[in-house]
């Protein structure tokens, strides 16, 4: 062994006194947060809220379809129109969560029938009869989160990647698939057994986890691209690719 | 211990600084060193169940950190061609020139070595990898690893001598 190597080996632990910045630990702990695992507990108190959520979701979806005759019919019979819930996505989500967690929904005959009937008029009737703040806020929970998630997904899928390969992001994809499974499971459970505080928490938790994960993925992509650009003079367009989530 | 945020925090407190020295010496760049440190710790905490002997955590973590640094270096390693002269090798050993400055100053000079030879110098002299292992891991020839190591040593010697002449 040469003398310099011997000297450095003997003093290896005394070399340098640099300390990492606190953001390193913040990044580590954020990456290690456990993904939401649904815990199923049967709760009947919120059964009405579960059905309301599903009915209102279907009604709002139908309401947004660009079918002219159906909209005219709705105007003719002067059904109360559902309020537009788009002041700010974040506000809506927060208010929805608060309302959903604090106010039990009113039970009605329509709610016990499950999904609304297929005809447009019946759908609008059903929703309008049940129209109250809780209903709208709970319905907007799903659509608001979905909008934000889809927006984030769109940003990711349109960001070009210059480094690594699609397989590098395999873990992210698997996590996303797992969360989608969790979400589906919770929704199925809610539709069969009704809503409970815990289930509502779980659903919100899964949405939040999805958003967190997508944000992390975006950060990782930006980090890779920045590192690549720092170390290379130009981008190799032949190797550029896009992630398909 | 896996999943226990408190335990992970304690392990990070204990080892992060030492591991950061490896990363910063290998990259010569604070930002990249922090990224590597973060990736290495995440990897270690995720694979913690693979560690059979808890007392060996330090060594096990060090290997993860070094491997992470090698993975990073391999992607961007660019070696300047360097022609070695045998008589220079003999001179390198003379007088123990590396003892003429503090360990901290020596560390600064190692960090400032050019890309390529800096990584090889660190892996060979500090992380104690053989030239054969370095060659395999970085995808270079064994002779390149050796010559780049001697290039790094020569540069260090020249720079240290210059620093001493300037600052006394």
Q: Report the complex ipTM.
A: 0.84
Number of Cβ within 10 Å of residue B132's Cβ equals 10
Q: Find tokens 């008589």 and name the residue.
A: B87
pLDDT in tens, A170-219: 777 778 888 888 888 777 777 777 777 777 777 777 787 888 888 888 88
CA dist., res. A163 & res. A169, Å (int): 11
Q: Which of B108, B112, B100 is nearest to B164 (CA)?
A: B100
Nearest Cβ partner for B45 among A32, A163, A223: A32
Cβ atoms of B110 and B156 closer than 8 Å:
yes
Angle between helices B103-111 and B5-27 (to 10 degrees): 70
State pTM to two decimals: 0.48
- Is B92 an interface residue toward A (CB < 8 Å)? yes
Cβ atoms of A57 and A51 closer than 8 Å:
no
Nearest Cβ partner for A18 among B24, B125, B126: B24
- Given a cut of 70, whether residue B167 has pLDDT beyond it is no
What residue in A sits closest to B25 (Cα-Cα)?
Answer: A16
- Is B81 an interface residue toward A (CB < 8 Å)? no
Least confident of A137-141, A211-215, B8-12, B13-17: A137-141
* Report for A74-83, A93-102, B46-55: range of highest mean pLDDT: B46-55
pLDDT in tens, B47-102: 988 888 888 899 999 999 999 999 999 887 777 666 665 555 555 556 688 888 88
> Residues of chain A with pLDDT > 90: what percent?
6
User: What pairs with residue A195 in β-bridges?
Assistant: A46
Which 3 state secondary structure label does DSSP give A183?
helix
Number of Cβ within 10 Å of residue B163's Cβ equals 15
- Non-local (6+) Cβ contacts of A190 within 8 A are A50, A53, A54, A199, A203
From the CA of B53, how many Å to the nearest CA of chain A? 22
Cβ atoms of A49 and A136 closer than 8 Å:
no
Kindly tell me the sign of the dihedral angle through the C-alpha atoms of A221, A224, A228, A229. positive
Angle between helices A22-31 and B30-46 (to 10 degrees): 30
Q: Which of A79, A228, A113, A17 is nearest to B106 (CA)?
A: A17
Cβ atoms of A200 and A36 closer than 8 Å:
no
**pLDDT tier at B108 (50, 70, 90 boundaries)?**
very high
Cβ atoms of A195 and A49 closer than 8 Å:
yes
Best mutation target among A2, A3, A4 (most B Cβ atoms within 10 Å) is A4
What residue in B sits closest to A8 (Cα-Cα)?
Answer: B126
B75 to each of A163, A165, A224, B43, B141, how far by Cα in Å?
10, 13, 12, 19, 16
> Residues of chain A with pLDDT > 70: what percent?
52
What average pLDDT does chain A have? 65
State mean pLDDT over A226-232. Answer: 76
CA dist., res. B23 & res. B31, Å (int): 10
- A-chain CB neighbours of B106 within 8 Å are 15
CA dist., res. A72 & res. A54, Å (int): 25
């Amino acid at each position: 062994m040469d003398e310099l190597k011997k000297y450095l080996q003997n003093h290896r632990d005394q070399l340098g006194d640099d300390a990492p910045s606190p953001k390193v630990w913040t990044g580590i702990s954020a990456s290690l947060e456990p993904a939401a695992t649904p815990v199923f507990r049967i709760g009947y108190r919120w059964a009405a809220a579960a059905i309301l959520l599903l009915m209102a979701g279907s009604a709002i979806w139908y309401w947004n379809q660009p079918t002219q005759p159906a909209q005219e019919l709705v105007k003719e019979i002067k059904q109360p129109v559902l309020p537009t819930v788009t002041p700010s996505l974040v506000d809506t989500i927060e208010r929805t969560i608060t309302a959903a967690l604090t106010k039990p929904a009113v039970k009605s005959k329509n709610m016990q029938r499950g999904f609304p009937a297929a005809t447009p008029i019946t759908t609008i009737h059903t929703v309008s009869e049940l129209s109250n703040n809780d209903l709208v806020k709970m319905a907007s929970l799903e659509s608001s989160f979905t909008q934000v998630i889809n927006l984030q997904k769109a940003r990711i899928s349109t960001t070009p990647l210059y480094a690594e390969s699609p397989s590098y992001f395999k873990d992210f994809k698997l996590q996303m698939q797992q969360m989608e499974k969790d979400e589906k499971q919770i929704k199925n459970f809610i539709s069969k057994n009704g809503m409970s505080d815990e289930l509502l928490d779980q659903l919100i938790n899964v949405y939040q986890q999805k958003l967190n994960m997508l944000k992390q993925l975006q950060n990782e992509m930006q980090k890779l691209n920045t590192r690549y650009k720092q170390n290379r003079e130009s981008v190799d367009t032949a190797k550029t690719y896009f992630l398909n989530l | 211990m896996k999943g226990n945020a408190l335990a992970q925090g304690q392990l990070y407190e204990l080892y992060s600084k030492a591991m950061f020295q490896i990363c910063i010496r290998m990259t010569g760049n604070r930002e990249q060193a922090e990224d590597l440190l973060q990736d290495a710790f995440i990897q270690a905490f995720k694979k913690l169940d693979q560690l059979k002997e808890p007392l060996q955590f330090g060594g096990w973590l060090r290997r993860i950190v070094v491997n992470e640094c090698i993975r990073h270096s391999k992607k961007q390693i660019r070696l300047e061609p360097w022609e070695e002269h045998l008589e220079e090798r003999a001179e390198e050993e003379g007088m123990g020139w590396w003892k003429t400055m503090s360990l901290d100053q020596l560390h600064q000079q190692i960090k400032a070595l050019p890309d390529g030879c800096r990584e090889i110098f660190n892996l060979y002299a500090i992380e104690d990898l053989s030239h054969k292992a370095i060659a395999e891991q970085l995808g270079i020839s064994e002779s390149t690893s050796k010559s780049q190591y001697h290039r790094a040593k020569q540069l260090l010697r020249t720079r240290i001598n210059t620093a001493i002449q300037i600052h006394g």
